[in-house]
Amino acid sequence: MPFDYDTLKARAFPVVRHNYGQRDVMFYALGIGLGHDPLDEKQLPFVYEENLRVFPTMAAIMAYPGLWIREPDTGIDWEHALHSEQGMAFLKPLPVEGEITAQTRVTGIVDKGEGRGALIYTERTGVDARTGEEYFKVFHTTFARRDGGYGGPSDPVRDPHPLPDRKPDIVCDLPTVPQQALWYRLNGDPNPHNADPKAAAAAGFPRPILHGLCTYGIAGHAILRSCCDYDLAALAALDVRLSAPVFPGETVRTEIWWQPGDEVAAFRSVALGRDAVVLNNGRAAFR
């Protein structure tokens, strides 16, 4: 079916239930690179049972709606669609095991014009299935590269967070390994672009790429490490634009600028070796 604004805006998503335990918590943290330094005791609580804690960006994969853009009723040319923006509000630290429910909804669609694609904004709130307590909100933008000029309404575009025109105050380098995408996909993100060379080539990539949410988690690690000393309660929100892919095995450098009042930092991430900006216009908010 063709891409249609009204149909997509009103699309009904099922409620997704996400059960998780300590093994899932540790595997997620390993998937975004926690534990790469075996002597760093501040990383250990995210990958080891003793005093285990949930790394906050794990919420991005909880009650995830799956590759819904591949469903025929969306009208989206999914093979040419990209995850372009990711945002989260961390309402309170997650317990190390439990059940989370969430229901995705489309909150906006932007027509960038014929040949320029469309932006699709979605949102979901993670709720404790037993108590009804809200733990997080997830904001996701899909860039549908082949679906611009659909002829329907167009919602407002979200403005990117500006970066200062000066040297960063903090720089944090974190490594990835060649098999990083194959590990990370076992968290429940089976997009073939991240594993299958043929699927990656069909989408225009020379080889499989790292999941955008994995890169997001790496940047979250850099922020939590550099700005919060791994204090989970200190991080309130993390928003970023995904501007280019990371290839597994690259080192990701996150450049951070403190903003007035020290309650917000701007950031971006660069793939060293290629000097490619992979995350841009980042905004981290602190309590």
CATH of the domain at 45: 3.10.129.10
Ordered DSSP codes for 52-72: ----GGGGGGTT---SGGGSG
Buried b / exposed e over 247-259, threshold 16 CB at 10 Å, is bbebebbbbbbeb
pLDDT of the residue at 2 = 72
Structure tokens at 129: 């299935």
- Closest by CA to 193, choosing from 119, 248, 116, 243, is 248
4-19 b/e (C-beta count within 10 Å ≥ 16 → b): bbeebbeeeeeebebe
**Measured between alpha carbons, how far is 94 from 135 in angstroms, rounded to an integer?**
7
Residue 1, pLDDT score: 57
Judge whether 59 and 24 are in contact, CB under 8 Å: no
Tell how far CA 36 is from the center of its chain.
Answer: 20
Whole-number pLDDT of residue 263: 92
CA torsion sign, 222 to 175 to 209 to 112?
A: positive
* Whole-number pLDDT of residue 254: 98
Residue written as token pair 């007035």: 260
pLDDT at residue 151, rounded to an integer: 84
Cβ-proximal residues to 156 (8 Å cutoff; 6+ apart), any chain: 108, 110
| Amino acid of residue 8 | L
Residue type, 9: K
- 167 Cβ contact partners less than 8 Å away, ≥ 6 residues apart: none
**Structural domains of the chain, count:** 1
Domain encompassing residue 204: 5-286
pLDDT at 188: 84
pLDDT tens for the 287 residues of the chain, in order? 577 899 999 999 999 999 999 999 999 999 999 999 989 999 999 999 999 999 999 999 999 998 899 898 898 988 788 889 999 999 999 999 999 999 999 999 999 988 889 999 999 999 999 999 999 999 999 999 888 888 889 999 989 999 999 999 999 999 999 999 999 999 988 888 899 999 999 888 999 999 999 999 999 999 999 999 999 999 999 999 999 999 999 999 999 999 987 799 999 999 998 999 999 999 999 99
Residue 238's DSSP bridge partners are 88, 284
What's the CA gap between 70 and 119, in Å, rounded? 16
Helical spans, DSSP H, in 138-274: 180-184, 197-202, 212-228
